[in-house]
Structure 1
Amino acid sequence: MRWRDNRPPPPPQSPRPVGNRRCDGENPFPARPSRVSRAGEFKRKRDETFMLRNLRNTGKTLTGKIVAGALFALLILSFAVWGINDIFTGRGSTTIAQVGETEISSEAARTTYQDQLRRLSIQFGQPITPQQAATLGLERQVLSSLVNEATLDERARALGLNVSDQLVARSIVDDPTFRGTDGSFNRGRFMSLLQSNGLTEQRYVAQERNAIARRQIVEALGEDFSAPVVAQEALHRYGAERRAARYVLLDAAAAGQIPQPTEEDLARFHQENATRFRAPEYRAATVLSVSPASVADPASVSDAAARAFHEQVAETRFGAAERREVQRIQFQSEEEAREAASRIASGEIDFEALARERDVPRDVLELGLLERAQFVDPAIAAAAFALAEGEVSEPISGRFGPSLVRVVAIEEAAVRPFEEVADEIRTELAMQDAADRIRRLYDEIEDQRASARPLAEIARERGLEAIEIAGIDAQGRDQVGATIDLPLPDRLPREIFDSDIGIDNAAIRTDDGGFVWFDVTGVQPARNLSLDEAREAVISEWRAERIEDRLAEQARGLVERLRAGESFDAVAADAGASVSVAENLARGQTQGDLDAGALRAIFATRVGEPGTARLGADRRLVFVVDSATAPPYLTTTPQAEQISDRMATEMGSDVLAQYVTQLQREIGLTINESLFRQAIGLEF
């Protein structure tokens, strides 16, 4: 896990149902009943098993300790929990799941889910809403994590596994996450990290104790697995095998002249493939976007305010600040520094000679040409900028001990005059004022929307320009396929399709500090296009299918001739195609004309045998496999060790999966899905 900082993530945005509003005027879209929640049903997004080695390491660092269950969720996501339909119940309680005697509370589910949601937001670099997280299957991961953690905890109690205080303490002390700069355990860092992640020491110690007990079970199941050498060799050959083949390409020209389709041909093809010719769902919407740039008024910024701002930031923003080239000599004591200053003042010695006398290295003597803010020691900066060029300071009690400094040269500040930057300053000040105006405007618009006012009406009343979208699909295109110019083009279409007529959607915050509101005002469901509407597409696909059929028939004929014993060159010549040779072909590595499908066909064909494969939309491949080679499998190589470890780990993972599944069957598992969704905010 990644430790999070103390900043709380922004609250998730949820739609607020306020009834079923209708648009004024004629609406070309049929209305649909409003829905109260945009939250979709659980989506099964993942079906994977993590390696047992990762599970053994779970908890050895803090990554596995706070949310160790998340790793178990990913490990066992595809078994036990989701394949048993009769475990879901609707009990009215605060328990979202129970494994044997262990209950998982809605509060635990909520806390775990929010932690994972926050972590996901940090990973993506932007706030992630529960609806967005649902598309990634986050809620399933959380529930699976909690359930499988509880399953192993229940088994640990049944086995009487006890983890001593000494073992828990040693595990925490040895965790590199809690080490300080000296490499040893740092209690201050330990407590700070716990606080940042909302944990007390007592709660963390309890979690670590349970995690150690779970690891003991996992490690006991996962030890001493070894895959048979013959299985290792098969896996080795699968990855290391290389093939060579000769081939010819049959393109659209080889299919000959395709006659024009009759009206009956088109009607039959359209009817048989109606679902291939569909218009997507379109939605009508009103969009209102307010940004700092749209409400900023540079002309309203007074000349006095602009000049005051220029005076405040002139050096840092509109020119180069004054810089001084400075030398410094450090001394062991204040008395020694005063004595040196007296010698310089009397003319007995100059600054450079004093530095040579004291063997001051040049890189220590020369501080360089610096602005005031660039000095490490503020006392040295203050003294240097108080001297004239060539002057030497009195002794300075600085951060690094007594010192004398000398100003070698002064580079005066160069500032652009106000007249040159006045427009830029007015724009900046207007944008700052716009941020306050937008916040006030947001509150006012939200108040109006709370009273069920249509967005178009609010925009007209406030003199704002709303965007009226007659029809938009889920990709942000209009009904002729052109991309619609929208604020937040990558997000807004998705938000529109996640909403519905009558939903009072939450405003979307933009990166520049503005807001975007939208109302869905109509829905035109997806439909099959008529033949007249889809005529060009029907003709194109009818021709493509005829070409594909002819090429496939021609390729089958060539393959039969090759199987009958004719030479590849003779068959290719009759087909009017040139022979190409591909060598060192590997699985999953495309080469030249050969795409992934062609490679699969070549590796599925025996050496010496011909075959054919579709190549793209309008080409066909005819080939002969000439050779298949693989280096011998040597069990003493690092590659062999990797294969052996990988297969052993996967075998251990399978055993663990079966073990947890059986445990849940034996001790009993019930899940209140509805309460879980309520706890994490996906159902109201």
Structure 2
Amino acid sequence: MLGSLLPDSNENPSPPRYRGRPCLATGRVFPMVRPPPSRRITMLTALRRLAGTWFAKALFLLLILSFGIWGIEDVVRRIGTDTAVARVGGAPIELTEAQQAARRDMLRMQRQLGAGFEMNPAMAQAIGRQAVEQLILDRVQRKEAAQLHIAVPEMALRDYVFGIPAFRGADGRFSRTLFDGFLRNNGLSEGEFLNLLRADLQRQQLVGAVRAGAAGPDALTKPLLAWEREQRVADLVRLPFAAAPEPATPAEEQLRRFHENNPDRFSSPEYRHYALAVLSPETVAAEIKPSDEDLHAAYEAHRGEFETPERRSIEQALLPSREQAAAIAEQWRGGAGFAAIEAAAQQAGGQAVSLGTTDRNGLPVQELAQAAFALPENGISAPVQTSFGWHVLKVTDIQPEQVRGFDAVRDELSAMVRRERAADLAYERANQVEDALAGGATLAEAAQRFGLALVDVTTDASGRTQAGARAELPLNGAAEDIALRAVFAARQGDSPRLAEAGQTALFSFDLKEVVPTALRPFEQVEAQVREAWTADARRRVQEEQAAALLTAVKGGKPLAEAAREAGFPVQRIGPFGRQPQPSTPLPAELLRPVFDTPPDQATMAGTPEGFAVAQPVQVVPFNPDSDPLALGRVRDAVEQAMLNDLEGQYLDALRAQAEISYNEALLGQVTPR
């Protein structure tokens, strides 16, 4: 194309053309000479010849490759890079698939544990690793199912989905709306969910054969039931701390040594000095000043909330025929009480009931509503026919309609409008605060600019000041706990950022100083040290007394005899079982040890009130054949445990046969840091 646009070299060149431009200073025209055509032809011909050389072709190819690679840089960069987080028999589990599975597990856990649950990095990593292991087990089972030619027909999959109760509407049929909501909440497409369900049905078929046929043998179930229902009678000796003799008054040197040897008991907790800013609808509501137009619009939108319709208390008699209803009406108008009307209605084959107090909409039958709300107070209606029979109504009380006007609810409307707009304003402010903090603004500057509640406090992890009082924080309840955990998990120097504290509040903090735990001076805690030393001395005395009773029992003396010689009261309790009961005086700390101790021995345990020593004196065995229902329950539990063990061993064997490899470099990327 370039050659066709050039003149032929044999043509006569035209004479040169001159163009001139006057000088602005002198007016003289300086000619501008156009290059002769022969020179232009020479230059273009040279370029054309150069384009046909191998050097030019290689240069063009290099340019094309560079622009192509620049456009698909992310693809080229991945060449030779493994994106699988794990492989099962060579089949990859891609990082994106593992991330989606971990995200679903995290969402499910957060829904189960509630809004106050906070996921820390260690938990997130554990959930990610568990998601990968579940995907590996899924691949292993799919591979085995394919080798055994186990399939799930589409009709069986459809019937299973339609049979899931969570997807059924109020009419008992499959609800597409509920199904789509489930997929949306779990971050799944319909195809992904069906694939998961198909794999689960394959797994059920796969392990069903392994689980079939397991049975709990009597050789195992009967001893288990006998062990579970065994009872014991025991002698019990209590040694409360309060009954210990008063120890001798300690010297100051003893108290100081006790103070130094127990620093954890007399040290101040770690305190942190921080500024805490909170953004919530409550913190910005005061800035909202609704106009009269806003209040009138809100009143019209919520008019139904300020109007109470007329309500009536109604009694009704329902009869089979018009004649019977008319007779009841005459009797009622004659002054008969409701008890007499009720008896007369029953005798005529009908019934009389009180409908309570209701408004017009509370009566579902239109004919009854019209008749009841047309009567005066204590009025009796004429017989009214419906599909149920013939009705006679009496209005016993009328509560007139009540309408609260605009002026009466002005304050409520103002609070309502502020509350509604405050949520939107807080959401808008959140983005502005984040931008300001990211731009280098201090927390105090952002709080002042955007109306955040700001406090500067020093507290421990429970929110108490160094004086022991509760700090006045602009959060409370679970939201305060979330903020305090974040403060005491932060490092000094971290930049402030917004975080959620519950569903409506956001907070940010600036950690200024960490006050480490320190041993309080002896003079400051002398009273607490003396009290603790006395309590420890009482504890040692009672512990020694309990140990002496154990030694006597080991020497062949019954606990009751050893206790009487030492001057301690003995209590015989039982029979009692292995499960703790409120009526059993045996301390919970001794229940299990008593069943692990033979009758010729004794056991002791510490309790909140002191020490307790017990010796079994009688074992009451249980005959498992005496309770077939309990034996069946234990047999079912044993069978279920055996089935679970068989399934677990089978899956472990399948997993051991598979070639599984991990990409350790990608495992840490399954969940966000």
SS in structure 2 of the partner of residue 96 of structure 1: strand
For 1:598, the equivalent position in structure 2 comes to 590
Q: Tell me if structure 2 keeps the 8 A contact 1:295–1:434.
A: yes
By how many angstroms is 1:589 displaced?
Answer: 0.5
Alignment match of 1:660 (pick from 651, 656, 666): 651
Return 432-441 or 307-316, whichever deviates more: 307-316
Deviation, structure 1 residue 541:
4.4
C-alpha contact (below 8 Å) 2:576/2:584 kept by paired residues: no
- Find out whether 1:193 has 2:179 as its counterpart: yes
2:454 partner letter? A
Deviations 1:478-514 (A, max 9, x none): 3344333330323221232343331433332555x45
Partner of 2:419: 431
Q: Is the 8 A contact 2:116 2:482 kept in 1?
A: no
State the SS of the aligned residue for 1:491: helix
Q: For residue 272 of structure 2, what is the aligned residue in structure 1?
A: 283
1 CA distance for matches of 2:356 and 2:624? 64
Deviation (angstroms), 1:470: 1.6
Q: For residues 421 and 388 of structure 1, what CA distance do their matches in structure 2 show? A: 32
In the other structure, the counterpart of 1:53 is none
464, 472, 475: which one pairs with 1:477? 464
Taking the aligned partners of 1:259 and 1:368, their CA distance within structure 2 comes to 75
- Please name the residue that 1:634 is paired with: 625
State the structure with more CA Rg.
2
Report sequence identity in percent: 25
Structure 2 contact 482–501 (Cα < 8 Å) conserved: no
Q: In structure 2, give the amino acid aligned to 1:207.
A: L
2:195 counterpart residue number? 206
2:142 aligns with one of 153, 161, 164: 153
* CA-CA distance at 1:197 after TM superposition: 0.9
Letter in 1 for 2:593: A
Q: 1:615/1:509 Cα in 2 relative to 1: closer, same or farther (>3 Å)?
A: closer
Q: Secondary structure at the match of 1:93?
A: coil
Indicate the residue corresponding to 1:493 in structure 2.
484
Q: Does 1:607 align with 2:599?
A: yes
CA contact (8 A) 1:96 1:673 kept: yes
Instruction: Give 3-state SS (helix, strand or coil) of 1:287's partner.
Output: strand
Paired residues for 1:565-604 under 5 Å: 566=557, 568-589=559-580, 593-604=585-596
**Structure 1 residues 315 and 278, CA gap change in structure 2 (3 angstroms):** same
- When residues 373 and 283 of structure 1 are mapped into structure 2, their CA distance, relative to the original with a 3 A threshold, is farther
TM-score (norm 2): 0.67
Contact 2:116 2:502 in 1 (8 A): no
1:250 maps to 2:242: no
Alpha carbons 1:510, 1:516 under 8 Å: kept: no
Whole-Å separation in 2 of the counterparts to 1:587 and 1:423 = 62
Aligned residues of 2:235 and 2:571 also touching (Cα < 8 A): yes
Residues 225 and 104 of structure 1: CA distance in aligned 2, closer, same or farther (over 3 Å): same
Distance 1:103 1:430, change over 3 A: same
Q: CA deviation at 1:117?
A: 3.3
The aligned residue for residue 436 of structure 2 is 448
Q: Contact 2:150/2:202 (CA < 8 Å) preserved in 1?
A: yes
Report the alpha carbon displacement of residue 467 of structure 1 after superposing the two structures with TM: 0.9
Report the CA distance shift for 1:561/1:126 in structure 2 as closer, same or farther (over 3 A): closer
SS across alignment from 2:237: strand
1:241 pairs with 2:227: no
Structure 1 residue 663: Cα displacement: 3.4
For residues 197-596 of structure 1, the aligned pairs below 5 Å read 197-198=183-184, 202-252=191-241, 255-262=244-251, 265-266=254-255, 269=258, 273-274=262-263, 278-297=267-286, 300-302=289-291, 306=295, 309-310=298-299, 313=302, 316-317=305-306, 319-322=307-310, 371=359, 412-461=400-449, 465-473=453-461, 475-486=462-473, 487=475, 488-501=479-492, 502-508=494-500, 513-526=504-517, 539-564=530-555, 566=557, 568-589=559-580, 593-596=585-588
CA distance in 2, matches of 1:92, 1:647: 50
In the alignment, what sits opposite 1:95?
84
C-alpha distance in 1 between matches for 2:265 and 2:136: 43
- When residues 367 and 643 of structure 1 are mapped into structure 2, their CA distance, relative to the original with a 3 A threshold, is closer
Greater mean alpha carbon deviation, residues 368-377 or residues 425-434 = 368-377
**Aligned residues between the structures:** 556
How far apart in 2 are the matches of 1:294 and 1:583? 61
Root-mean-square deviation over aligned CA pairs = 5.0
Instruction: State the alpha-carbon separation in 1 of the partners of residues 237 and 431 from structure 2.
Output: 69
Superposition deviation, residue 639 in structure 1: 1.6
What residue is the counterpart of 1:52 in the other structure?
none
C-alpha change, 1:308 and 1:578, in structure 2 (3 Å) is: same
Query: Shift of the alpha carbon at 1:325?
Result: 9.8
Q: Report if the CA contact (8 A) 1:499-1:505 is conserved.
A: no
How many Å separate the matches in 2 of 1:272 and 1:492?
A: 34
- Which 10-residue stretch deviates more, 225-234 or 551-560? 225-234
Hey, what does 1:65 align to over in structure 2?
none
In structure 1, how many angstroms separate the alpha carbons of the residues matched to 2:258 and 2:356? Answer: 81
Amino acid at match of 2:591: L
Cα shift at 1:137: 5.7
| C-alpha distance in structure 1 between counterparts of 2:260 and 2:646, whole Å | 51
Structure (1/2) with the larger helix percentage: 2
Query: C-alpha displacement at 1:667, in angstroms?
Result: 1.9
CA distance in 1, matches of 2:541, 2:94: 64
**Cα gap change, 1:271 to 1:468, in 2 (>3 Å):** same
Aligned mates of 1:677, 1:377 — CA distance in 2: 66
2 CA distance for matches of 1:272 and 1:111?
Answer: 53
| Stretch moving more, 214-223 or 238-247 | 214-223
Distance of 2:498 and 2:564 partners within structure 1: 68
Aligned partner of 1:551: which letter?
Q
Which amino acid is the alignment partner of residue 660 of structure 2?
L
* 1:400-438 deviations in Å (ceiling 9; x for gaps): 9xxxxx999996422245554443333333333434443
The 3-state SS of whatever aligns with 1:224 is coil
C-alpha distance 586-124 of structure 1, shift in aligned 2 (>3 A): same
Structure 1 residues 628 and 139, CA gap change in structure 2 (3 angstroms): farther
Secondary structure of 1:504's match?
Answer: coil
Q: Note the C-alpha offset of 1:583.
A: 0.8
Contact 2:437 2:443 in 1 (8 A): yes
Which string of whole-angstrom CA distances, capped at 9 and with x for unpartnered residues, describes residues 427-456 of structure 1? 333333434443443333222112132212
Residue 243 of structure 1: how far off its partner (Å):
1.0
> Which amino acid in 2 is paired with 1:517?
S
Q: Which residue of 2 aligns with 1:118?
A: 107
Q: For structure 1, which segment, 240-249 or 168-177, has the greater mean C-alpha deviation from structure 2 after superposition?
A: 168-177
- The verdict on how the C-alpha distance between 1:464 and 1:118 changes in structure 2, with shifts beyond 3 A counting, is closer
In structure 2, C-alpha distance between the alignment counterparts of 1:363 and 1:114, rounded to whole Å: 61
Is the contact between residue 235 and residue 615 of structure 2 (CA under 8 Å) also seen in structure 1? Answer: yes
Counterpart-to-counterpart distance in 1, 2:217 and 2:425? 72
How far is the alpha carbon of 1:96 from its aligned partner? 2.2
Equivalent of 1:142 in 131, 136, 141? 131
Q: Is the contact between residue 99 and residue 664 of structure 1 (CA under 8 Å) also seen in structure 2?
A: no
- Return 484-493 or 174-183, whichever deviates more: 174-183
